[in-house]
Amino acid sequence: MGLIWNAFELAGTISFALSGAIVGLVKDMDVFGIVVLAVLTAVGGGMIRDVLAGQTPPLTLISPANLFLSIAIALAASYYFSWFRIRGRRKRVLNFFYALADTVGLASFTVTGTMMGLAQGEPHSYVYPVLLGLVTAVGGGVLRDLMAQRVPVVLVADVYATASIAGSLLQCLVWHLGYTELAPWVDAVSIILLRLLAMNYKWQLMHPIERRKRIR
């Protein structure tokens, strides 16, 4: 897919493997559980993307470098944090790194999924690349959260899937305007900015139940 695609794929794998490992650590899982969550988060979305795109077997199974990288990151995180109790200030630091890693992973995998959709789709298609971008970005996190017995972040987090969709649409627009090299970077920067602003200012989509309570 090219150097840019490989760079974002690597960044997404590292970031999501770390976020998955952090969830396992916070949930007090053993090292196997931490590795499972890291691998699911890092490669799960990409595998779903590949199946939807007709790439079988998925790229991760053909060239398992990202799989092994995810395992290595999970083992390193497990070893490092085995020396510390995750509570108080350290837990806040861990939550910060989780939010940062999850944001970078969301942006990176939105880019790679959208790029694959643009390469395969119709000349002026938007639905297909945006769908692939979204699935790649949130698929692994959904699997991670289900295994960790959490409500998937994509269903409750402040401007999460929305940021992925917005960035993917922007990437498609810039790509169709002819700026194919610039489009992935516009996507990534816009998603990261949206997520950081949403977390800082606590932006959220409408919650019907909360709105009904305020009306009463």
36-52: per-residue pLDDT in tens? 999 999 999 999 999 99
Mean pLDDT of 112-122: 90
Q: Yes or no: say if 129 and 117 are a contact pair by the CB < 8 Å rule.
A: yes
Q: At a CB cut-off of 8 Å and minimum separation 6, what does 203 contact?
A: 158, 159, 197
Mean pLDDT of 194-205: 88
DSSP one-letter code for 157: S
Query: Closest Cα partner for 86 from 145, 149, 150, 27?
Result: 27
Q: Does 129 sit behind a cis peptide bond, omega within 30 degrees of 0 on the bond before it?
A: no
Quick one: tokens of 19?
Answer: 């976020």
pLDDT at 202: 83
Q: Which helix (H) or strand (E) holds 167?
A: helix 161-176
- Count of Cβ atoms closer than 10 Å to residue 5 Cβ: 15
Residue whose pair of structure tokens reads 């060239």 in the numeric block? 63
- Residue 75 dihedral angles phi and psi, to the nearest 5°: -65, -40
pLDDT at 69: 97
Please state the pTM of the whole predicted model.
0.92
Q: At a CB cut-off of 8 Å and minimum separation 6, what does 215 contact?
A: none
pLDDT at 205: 78
pLDDT of 1 above 70: no
d(CA 139, CA 157): 15
